[in-house]
A and B are shown apart, each in its own frame.
Chain A
Amino acid sequence: MSRVSTARERSPWGAIAALLGGLLLALYAAPVAWLALAQPPSAVLASLDAPFVVGAARNTLVSASISTALATLFGVPLAYWLARARFRGRTLVTAVVAFPLVLPPVVSGMILLSAVGAEGLGGLLGVRISGTIAGVVLAQTFVASPFVVLTARSAFESVDTDAEEAARTLGASEWGTFRRVTLPLAWRGILAGITLAFARAAGEFGATLMLAYYPRTLPVQIWATFQGRGLDAAFPVAVVLLAVASGALVLLNVLGEASPVVSE
């Protein structure tokens, strides 16, 4: 005997979802809360006093912002193309986009170092990339940009092509349709991708370590401090990274939500 359930009936799903979700949230929150609480604020402030921590925080913000911008600039078109184009090698291209996610970051760093270092492209062009902010940006873009591409691709795919066709029928150009119909509808998904990419870039360690130990970003600084002085000295620097990155992520989302793309 089957019956149609009504909205009023309490389904167990609500409770299960909250429980499962809550457990996962606790897994994320517990170590972070411990980290933040176990660090006396004085220790965190003292670490801010060290010029190298401030420098590393600045490098992290600058490089992660540039890499996120690059990831968006190049990643959104790639995502759109992957979502709309129909061709045989599509799965293969998607697999290529996922390479940086599959490779351990240290390995990515080694590959990039070989490819753009003194014996690769950098040597050919006479440009030094390793050990420069460009190296940091390259490492971060490599590792973080797939988040923009893959998330934005899903977002574009979920946009109803009928809406796009309607716009075209009404005389909008291809660019106009993308600008006024597709992009606003996909924007939240794209913004999620941009947020992920920024978070990943700010926390990037392995590839950065290989490609550019200097100029130091916070993750590399945490490692260096740990190597020299141990966990207790490294934790306050980690709190600084958390604070800086969270602040930037909140700002990114506020700006993203208020962007003209959606409000139009």
Chain B
Amino acid sequence: MSTQRSVGGRRGRGAESGGSTEGTTRRGFLTALGGAGAAGVAAGVSGCVGSMGGAAGADRSDDNGSDGGRSGGRPISVLAAGSLQLAFSEGLRAAVDRPVQVEAHGSVTVARLVAEGKRHPDVVALADTALFDRVLATEWHAEFATNALVVAHTDSDAGRRVAEADRWFDPVVGGAASLGRTDPDLDPLGYRTLFALDLASEYYDRPGLRDALVEPRQVYPETSLLSRFETGDLDAAVVYRSMAEDRGYDYVDLPAAIDLSEPDRADAYGAVSYDLPSGETVRGAPIEYGATARRGGDPVTDTFDTLVAGEYLGDHGFVVPDEFPEYSGDVPRVHCP
């Protein structure tokens, strides 16, 4: 597995807001303009495109802004997707010289907790950037890493069959190994698994492959899937590569055409979709992790910049493509390249 690293640091794009970041003045110069500390919550948060209006709304759910900005030794709180937990609590913590508190839940839960004002973290990091618009309604975010789907297998006979087969799915289709997956209605991993299986039908030119692999009784909530897999109740499971790395699973890599790992294949991935019970339709897309900072001030900004630079992510099975971190939206000037 090749791990690309961002060499030149930030090359953000601020694309979606329609503003070009070229020609904007550099960061240090503008920190003053953000008035770090002075404006409390909104400190240092102003759009690259110069929209101060956007800045005010950037942290609307934190009314009192009690501890924004002035954080003498206060830990930086990071609310993150479960798959990022170990990378953040080990890698990021080691890379940042101030205390970092990492709290991890499923990405959808994280987004909801923040949107509903139940948590007020300094930084939010999610496994699906669509959630920033769909649930959180943040002004901006930075994409900082990609992940891939892999087929983890146990060390049992059946598990090894999956590893040794020419095509990993043959033992599953033939009933020689059981394949577990997570509930598509509960977490992105669940519907992404279905995307991968749909794409696999196409890729291997085997119409009906997805239906042959999808056994309704082998759908579990994520925690349950991993416990079952680890105790040998399931022979194989579709999981993120980062999970497999962190937990020391053996796994089979999938072709890039189906593993949802490459941002460049976004169009091809987008050919498949899943209808959530809410009536929403999610489309296939590359697995991209995004983060946003909800407060200004140097401690948060520095931590955020280290987080999205992603030097520590390679050890945990993530990939940081050269063009990352990639900023979208009304990006605060302090984060602008």
Q: Is there an interface contact between A230 and B247, defined as CB atoms closer than 8 Å? A: yes
Question: Is A113 an interface residue, CB under 8 A from the partner?
Answer: yes
Min distance, Cβ A157 to any Cβ of chain B, angstroms: 40
Q: Is the CB of A117 within 8 A of B89?
A: no
1/0 per residue A110-122: CB within 8 Å of B? Answer: 1001100111000
Contact A228-B118, Cβ < 8 Å, known A118-B63, A214-B101: no
**Min CB–CB distance B228 → chain A (angstroms):** 10
> Once bound together, how far apart are the Cα atoms of A210 and B103, in whole Å?
11
A118: nearest residue on chain B (CB-CB)? B117
CB of B261 closer than 8 Å to a CB of A? no
| Distance A224 CA – B119 CA, assembled complex (angstroms) | 18
Cβ of B226 under 8 Å from chain A: yes
Task: Report the tally of A-B residue pairs with Cβ distances under 8 A.
Answer: 49
Report A-chain residues with C-beta under 8 Å of the C-beta of B62: 118
Per-residue CB contact flags for chain B residues 195-231 toward chain A (1 = under 8 Å, else 0) read 0000000000000000000000000000100110011
- Whether, in the assembled complex, B107 has its beta carbon less than 8 Å from a beta carbon of chain A, the answer is no
In the assembly, what is the distance between CA of A128 and CA of B62, in Å?
Answer: 13
Interface bits A177-221 vs B (CB < 8 Å: 1, else 0): 000000000000000000000000000000000100110000000
Q: Which residues of A contact B89 (CB under 8 A)?
A: 224, 228
> Quick one: closest A residue to B118, CB to CB?
A113
**A117 — which chain B residues lie within 8 A by C-beta?**
117-118
Given contacts A128-B66, A213-B103, A214-B103, contact A227 B82 (CB under 8 A): yes
Tell me the minimal C-beta distance from A117 to chain B in angstroms.
Answer: 6
Q: Known contacts being A118-B120, A119-B117, A214-B103, is A229 close to B223, with CB within 8 Å?
A: no
Q: Shortest beta-carbon distance, A237 to chain B, in Å?
A: 14
Whether a CB of chain B sits under 8 angstroms from the CB of A231 is yes
Contact between B85 and A227, CB atoms less than 8 A apart:
yes
Determine how close the nearest CB of chain B comes to the CB of A136; give it in whole angstroms. 14
Contact A230 B117 (CB under 8 A): no
Contact B103 A231 (CB under 8 A): no
CA distance A130 to B85 in the complex (A): 20
Q: Which residues of A contact B117 (CB under 8 A)?
A: 117-119
Q: Does residue A174 face the partner (Cβ distance < 8 Å to B)?
A: no
Q: Mark A91-125, 1 if CB is under 8 A from B, else 0.
A: 00000000000000000001001100111000100
Contact with A along B92-132 (1 / 0, CB 8 A): 00000000010110000000000001111000000000000
Q: Is the Cβ of B230 less than 8 Å from the Cβ of A227?
A: no
Residues of B contacting A229 in the complex (Cβ-Cβ under 8 angstroms): 86, 246-247
Indicate if the CB atoms of B227 and A231 lie closer than 8 Å.
yes
Whether A228 pairs with B86 at a CB distance below 8 angstroms is yes
User: In the complex, which residues of chain A have a beta carbon less than 8 angstroms from the beta carbon of B104?
Assistant: 224, 227-228
Q: Does B248 contact A (CB under 8 A)?
A: yes
Q: Give the residues in chain B near A214, CB-CB below 8 Å.
A: 101, 103
A228 lies within 8 A of B63 (CB): no
Known: A119-B117, A128-B66. A230 touches B230 (CB 8 A): yes
Given A113-B118, A230-B246; 4 other pairs, CB 8 A cutoff: A214-B101, A224-B85, A227-B85, A230-B226
